[in-house]
Amino acid sequence: MQQRHASAQFGRFRRRRTGWLAPLALAAITLWQASIAAAHAADCPRATALGTGRVLGVNVAATPRVGLKSFPQTLPLEDHEVVLTFDDGPWPRTTRRVLAALAQECVRATFFLIGRSASEYPELARRIAAEGHTIGHHTWAHRSLMRIKAQDAREEIDRGISAVEMALHGAATTVPTTPFFRFPGFESTPATLDLLQSRGIVVFGADLWASDWNRMTPKQELKLITDRLNAAGKGIILFHDTKAQTAAMLPAFLRYLRDNGYRVVHLIPAERASVSPD
Ligand SMILES: [Zn+2]
């Protein structure tokens, strides 16, 4: 389309016989336009896709804990801005379908991975990252950190981070590349919250739940989450990429966002703001 338009312009230009420099300049512009079009096409092959609205850097200094379901604070989202988050993967049967739906609409999400699953399916963990999504942490084996000893909770967190880092980067470190964490079942304790904050890790709750741990049809889930979103107007949405009903519902949900003026915000880790001691 872009190229056809440009060559039509070029034809008109030549007919006006305005000298040889102008057509050369126009040819250069045509090439430049074509290269921009190619770059856009590489980002998103469909012009009518939802697309990612903006990128938001998040760090522990500004927002150590976010998500109104668990905390008094959340991310600074504008009206009609949503953040898509997916928990409990990677899970081959359903995560691939979720990735396909996100790619179809050119939107980027945040996946909170379970360490044990990442070590079982490292290629899928790497694929999530390679497709431009952000990867946070969700413990080693999804135990409730509220119901185990503090030392065991610390081990669940560290082992999970380490397994995801190993899958993604081949290094078993407990310092996460992306310092984002979500508690299984949102079951935090004051001690683990303090621990994560002291290590510069942002704790994510959610503003809206799809409640996809309950069995329902994709159509029911779509109605539930769009009703909740319309009531709230914006927010961090929690899904599970391990759920077939969510994978099945997602294409329709993303089209709904596009058709109703919602914009997807992609989260990335921001540099820690330098905090002066006082
Ligand atoms: Zn979970």
Judge residue 48's burial from the number of C-beta atoms within 10 Å of its C-beta, 0-12 exposed, 13-18 middle, 19 or more buried. exposed
Cα separation, 94 vs 100, in Å, equals 10
Active site residues: 87, 240
Q: What is the pLDDT of residue 45?
A: 78
pLDDT confidence bin for 271, thresholds 50/70/90 = confident
Mean per-residue pLDDT for 197-225?
97
In the structure, ligand 1 is a single-atom ion and the residues with CB under 5 Å from it are: 87-88, 184
pLDDT confidence bin for 9, thresholds 50/70/90 = very low
Q: What is the dihedral of CA 239, 203, 196, 126, to 10 degrees?
A: 40
Mean per-residue pLDDT for 29-57?
67
Query: How many angstroms is it from 62 CA to the middle of ligand 1?
Result: 25
Q: What is the pLDDT of residues 145-182, one digit of tens each?
A: 999 999 999 999 999 999 999 999 999 999 999 999 99
What pairs with residue 145 in β-bridges?
A: none
Mean per-residue pLDDT for 96-104?
97
Query: How many angstroms is it from 79 CA to the middle of ligand 1?
Result: 27
**Residue 40 in this model has a pLDDT that exceeds 60:** no
Q: What is the pLDDT of residue 272?
A: 52
Query: How many angstroms is it from 230 CA to the middle of ligand 1?
Result: 25
Inter-residue contact 203 to 196 (CB < 8 Å): yes
Query: How many angstroms is it from 110 CA to the middle of ligand 1?
Result: 13
Cα separation, 206 vs 66, in Å, equals 7
